[in-house]
Structure 1
């Protein structure tokens, strides 16, 4: 069994690995270093987010390279050159921020350099400098050892710190730093929503679909990155929003599944009878089938903005009527619907269902803006 205790032992192992494993290893080190960009200095928000963006860009490019079958480095060459130039944004807090950037730069060099094993080892070295401080000790090397035993597997980023019911688990103060950094991103949600979800998935070992990562890495133009987070978010949105919509549809359908009723006459892609004519028993199935129609339109080669808007409106109207009818349904202390009209689940989970429908509506409206 390999034990990685320093960059030299890492290099010895890396020299025996294929190119994409080296990229994968370097990337995981660079991703672990991201909280190192956090600074508690005054006026931190602009600098923290500015310094973080090159690290996230590195994550996309290196992840796309690591999972691309029969990797052709020429596909990535110009993007890597541009990203390395972009990563030279001044780090405002000295050591840790610089080391986080250097870890990212090493991961990028690992994609196109012939000496990729050495660059991967450097990424680990810089990661250790960015995060191994105070009481954390050699945790970066322990995590790298775990990686060497599970090559090309996307386990939780910090395998020695499994989830314990918390949103994420990271060593030392890294969790607090990431939480603070994420809080800053939350105040500029439209610019950073994708990045928070992408990194959270990596942290937990549940990454977003690699096809989505590859599309964003290879479709967002270098000029967009040079303009800043707002422009990058605009470029990502038309790629990310269909994925987000699919996830939201699946989540709502999971809530409705237990209450779905068979109702003849609703179920194809033609818009059914007016909402006002539907009964309480029919509405959950009506909402379900509108979700299916929305999914079908989303997956069309050329989604029709007008039909998407029509389906969004019908979904919202159906939810509004169901909400009104719920007020008229009597249920006992155990929350079982006395009328037998529908399972208690709809009544019990209505607030959550209503919120999910509102999120779907907003996502559809945001996406339509890019389709027009």
Structure 2
């Protein structure tokens, strides 16, 4: 079936599964998104920000996820939908018809992703109609997507594989009717360039958008984690979210951004004005960690920490080394250098712990669990929350990291780490046996 108008788009969509329709709608949103060149790129203007957020979540929702992640994405999509809908009604920059179309297409895509439209196939068709009003050749490009998605389904591949194709046909393809109009290329370049004024805020979105256009999407794990940034942080605005994205991006890549050494040295000198007080705090943190770890091992089902949490055992030694560095006096410069080195080591251990938790999360999401293994995960989650990652330890750890690194809580790695702790425990609590394995399965594949 060839898609050439709204009716044929609805007819084709009506024969597809929800993931395929979600991918289809998201691709149409991506094609129309260059209209954000008409929306202010100021980080104080939320319209552009909400369009990008909604389209990101629409794209990620088309992928395959565990039930826990799917539920979280549905909530994230609902929040994004409500925020963008409100912005469409109130923001003056949406008075521009093209900008308004981009916003409505993004809203439609994220609504399709969560099945919010009464008939999601009509929602997908509506997106194409709006896209065609802004970008010529949108029906032809959508028809190309439909052909790709049909082939993907025939090969039993996930619908999200369609994002591996360029958004518009490449010059070597014979599908000239679906080619990107020259004026649209300029609009995209203009929209991208407008983000250069505040690269700290928009750099991720530039990379993400370029990847989606060229068929080289950023790693889905990274996109998923950004989609699941807590709603209260999205509500604060682009600057707050960009800081959180930078920490997620850094942890995912394994390239840990070092602490600002000039700021750290200045802070360390202030710590050295009351070395005994700071040393006692570090020693107390080490003892508390050791006590909580020992309690968990005593009460837990095995004499080991859960997967992803093993790095906690490195922290007591790091805090004791900080305590020692504070108590040994060898001159101002030597004392400063020694303590700076230990605090940098603490920063690295925290980053590694965050990476370990992320890897464990995704290993469990991909695991095929037997009934027994799923029950063991749920038991581990309860034990971990009670004996290890309780509110007392989390609060103490956050305060000590802020004190020794000399940073405000929101500028620390700690909020991202705390979120990883919570997500890992919630994932373990929600563990269920694989349907394929059934009750008799005894092994899992990681």
1:328 corresponding residue in structure 2: none
Relative to its length, the structure with more helix (as a share) is 2
Aligned-pair distance for 1:172?
A: 2.5
Q: Is the 8 A contact 1:157 1:202 kept in 2?
A: yes
Deviation at 1:26, TM superposition (A): 0.3
Q: Equivalent of 2:144, from 143, 146, 152?
A: 146
Deviation at 1:223, TM superposition (A): 1.8
The residue number in structure 1 matching 2:107 is 105
Looking at structure 2, the residues matched to 28 and 127 of structure 1 have their Cα atoms a distance apart, in angstroms, of 10
For structure 2, the 5+ residue unaligned runs are 150-158, 174-178, 258-309, 316-342, 350-410, 415-446
Counterpart CA distance in 1 for 2:221 and 2:246 is 15
Structure 2 Cα separation of the partners of residues 122 and 98 of structure 1: 14
Alignment of structure 1 residues 244-263 onto 2, 5 Å: 244-245=253-254
What whole-Å deviation, never above 9, does each CA across 1:105-145 have from its counterpart, x for those lacking one? Answer: 1111112225221111111112112223xxxxxx1111111
Residue 46 of structure 1: how far off its partner (Å): 3.1
d(CA) in 1 for partners of 2:145, 2:112: 17
Measured after TM superposition, the shift of residue 93 of structure 1 is 4.2
Pick closer, same or farther for the CA change 1:101–1:123 going to 2, 3 Å: same
- The 5 A counterparts of 1:59-138 are 59-69=55-65, 74-88=71-85, 89=87, 90=91, 91-113=93-115, 115-132=119-136
- Which residue matches 2:12? 13
Asked if 1:175 corresponds to 2:185, the answer is yes
Could you say if the C-alpha distance between residues 10 and 190 of structure 1 is closer, same or farther in structure 2, counting changes exceeding 3 Å? same
For structure 1, which segment, 3-12 or 76-85, has the greater mean C-alpha deviation from structure 2 after superposition? 76-85
Within 2, Cα distance between the matches of 1:94 and 1:308? Answer: 50
Is residue 2:413 matched to residue 1:371? yes
CA gap of 1:180–1:28, structure 2 versus 1, over 3 A, is same
Contact 1:37-1:48 at 8 Å conserved across structures: no
Match of 1:34?
A: 33
1:208 equivalent in structure 2: 218
Instruction: Quote the offset at 1:175 in angstroms.
Output: 2.0
Per-residue deviation, 1:306 = 2.4
| Structure 2: distance between partners of 1:162 and 1:54 | 32
Matched residue, 1:51: 47
Q: What is the distance in 2 between the residues matched to 1:31 and 1:87? A: 16
Q: Cα deviation per residue 1:64-93 (whole Å; 9 max; x = unaligned)?
A: 211124667643343223212221322444
Match of 2:245 among 214, 229, 236: 236
Contact 1:161/1:170 (8 A) holds in 2: no
Instruction: Write the distance in 2 (CA, Å) between the matches of 1:5 and 1:230.
Output: 41
Alignment CA distance shift 1:119-1:6 (3 Å): same
Segment drifting more, 49-58 vs 230-239: 49-58
Offset at residue 95 of structure 1 (A): 1.2
**Counterpart in the other structure of 1:4:** 3
TM-score by length of 2: 0.50
In structure 2, distance between residues paired with 1:69 and 1:78 = 14
Question: 1:98 offset after TM fit, Å?
Answer: 1.0
Q: Please identify, of 20-29 and 184-193, the stretch whose mean Cα deviation from structure 2 is larger.
A: 184-193
Q: How many residues align?
A: 253
Question: Do the aligned partners of residues 147 and 188 (structure 1) sit closer, same or farther apart at CA in structure 2, a change above 3 Å counting?
Answer: same
> Aligned partners of 2:73, 2:245: CA distance in 1, in Å?
18
Aligned to 1:189: 199
| CA positional deviation for 1:10 | 0.9
- Is the 1:65–1:71 contact (alpha carbons within 8 Å) kept by the matching residues of 2? no
8 Å CA contact 1:157, 1:204 repeated in 2 = yes
- Asked if the contact 1:64/1:217 (under 8 Å) is kept, the reply is yes
1:84–1:108 contact (8 Å) kept in structure 2: yes
For residues 25 and 71 of structure 1, do their structure 2 counterparts lie closer, same or farther at Cα, with a shift above 3 Å needed?
A: farther
- Mapped to 2, the partners of 1:227 and 1:126 lie a distance apart of 30
Deviations 1:298-320 (A, max 9, x none): xx957987248789xxxxxxxxx
CA RMSD of aligned residues (A): 3.5
Structure-2 separation of matches of 1:186 and 1:83: 24
1:236-315 correspondence to structure 2 within 5 Å:
236-245=245-254, 306-307=344-345
State yes or no: 1:221 paired with 2:230. Answer: yes
